[in-house]
Structure 1
Amino acid sequence: MTTARLDAAELDARAEELAELLTDTVAGGASVGFLAPLGRADAVAWWQERSAGAAAGRLAVWAAYDTDGRVTGTVSLAFPDKPNSRHRAELVKLMVHRRARGQGLGRRLLAVAEEAAAAAGVTLLHLDTETGSPAEHLYRSAGWTRVGVIPDYAADPAGTLRPTTIYCKRLGAAGPLPG
């Protein structure tokens, strides 16, 4: 597996492939902000809309590719645009295609995003994930700190309101969080 950061032009060019990953992720039950069934055209449009954020430097997207060059996963960092929050970023849309799960790809993508964030001077990352999801184990085992749970925060792909757990992680010289 290889990973590469996608610029705005590459996001547009690979929108179809990325849409296939997104629709597979939603169909597999992962709560990544969409309801099932997610139509392909909607998924393509969503990825194409990310181009503006990437071009403006507010979003960084990495894709993982299998040996055949197919997109098998993504992870993104969303950077705030306010002066008082430039030390932090939000980890968003960590997705692994069902055909590639269980091979450590999620952990590798998470490490790519953390390393890139630290290299960019980010000292604090945060994310939210569905409480009780398999992703929670990944984040805990990678040293993320559970901050709390918000009940009924988002609907899962079936439309059922589910709690969301918030996590954060300090990077670099800031050191780990207590607890």
Structure 2
Amino acid sequence: MRRDGAANRERILLAAEQVFGTGGAAASTEEVARQAQVGIATVFRHFPTKQDLIEATAVRYLGKLEGETRRLTGEAEPGQAFASLVRTLVSTGATKMALLNLLPGDGYEVAGPVTTAAHNFLDAIGMVLERAQSAGAARQDATVDDVSTLVRALAHVAAPGEDEAVERAVGIVLDGLGVRR
């Protein structure tokens, strides 16, 4: 792919993350094109259907979250790394849920790259959780599914301007997970 084509693709995916992450199913590819500052034909040249664009956006977003999560495995204090992960996932959860809700099933059932990206992301969460558990900084019986459920619940109710209440709720969840922070 030519350099300008790759740059256009990246701008489209960044715009799609914003547009679909906030607008959900009502969001349009025309708005993606406008925010990416490209023509609608350019969007469809890279992504023949809206579903292709949504899937590519979800893969990119999950990959970004996976990278941030894997970075935390190198943090010195496992409990703090896990607490940071939960906070990050809650703050980014609304966008992730909006993107996955646009996919068939629960977003984890789509074949191909989305499924791979979702499993890689969940594996990365597991690495951070296991590290915290090994250090005695998190409950031994907590699972990735537990963390995912709690994070989705917090992200679902987190509203702009309620940072203090959300942080308090995150603290309660971390306490329940036995996280030493």
Q: With the length of structure 2 as denominator, give the TM-score of the two structures.
A: 0.36
Q: Which has the larger radius of gyration?
A: 2
Higher relative contact order (CA 8 A, sep 6+): 2
Higher normalized strand content (fraction of residues): 1
Q: With the length of structure 1 as denominator, give the TM-score of the two structures.
A: 0.36
